[in-house]
A and B are shown apart, each in its own frame.
Chain A
Amino acid sequence: EIVLTQSPGTLSLSPGERAIFSCRASQSVRANHIAWYQQKPGQAPRPLMYGASIRVTGIPDRFSGSGSGTDFTLTISRLEPEDFAVYYCQQYGTSTTFGQGTKLEIK
């Protein structure tokens, strides 16, 4: 099983700042099959990215993804108030597993 470790556990930032989320895999992820999700309290996860760097239709371009092999990053260039939530990465290169999440909170 590929274990995904997300860091940091909590990110405290202000609107307008840049947010960087890390997702590290225990082994190389085939074809960079990494997805990112946003989840707000009481809501289902919302897909943001897939294929490590491809934005889901309708996701603003302030969201971007990068990485390869075992290290992946989600970046939000300028935080909007609605971006504060929990973010999860998922690998789907070998079966599928999720990271434990990073909480983005308002500083």
Chain B
Amino acid sequence: DAGVIQSPRHEVTEMGQEVTLRCKPISGHNSLFWYRQTMMRGLELLIYFNNNVPIDDSGMPEDRFSAKMPNASFSTLKIQPSEPRDSAVYFCASSLAETGELFFGEGSRLTVL
């Protein structure tokens, strides 16, 4: 079975550009999470969805960040405009809400110059 699929794996962009990160969760999972990992702040929960509905976006750092889940098999995290401090590895994870264990993608490494 395919795991969580994230794209792109690496993204290098210039400050001010729009960045879109994509995630395909595991089929049948009903919860999806976006995390950001940096050396300074560790793993931060940005937003999570249950049954495609955003439940808690209190971790989204600013209005420049937005996330959508238009259907059960796809989610996006968008940063517009991007800034150098957004440089990080962004992870998508999915789970069955009943069991709680998270299945992570391999991450998208974002570098904003």
A binds B: no
Q: Which residues of B come within 8 Å of A, CB atoms?
A: none
Q: Which residues of A come within 8 Å of B, CB atoms?
A: none
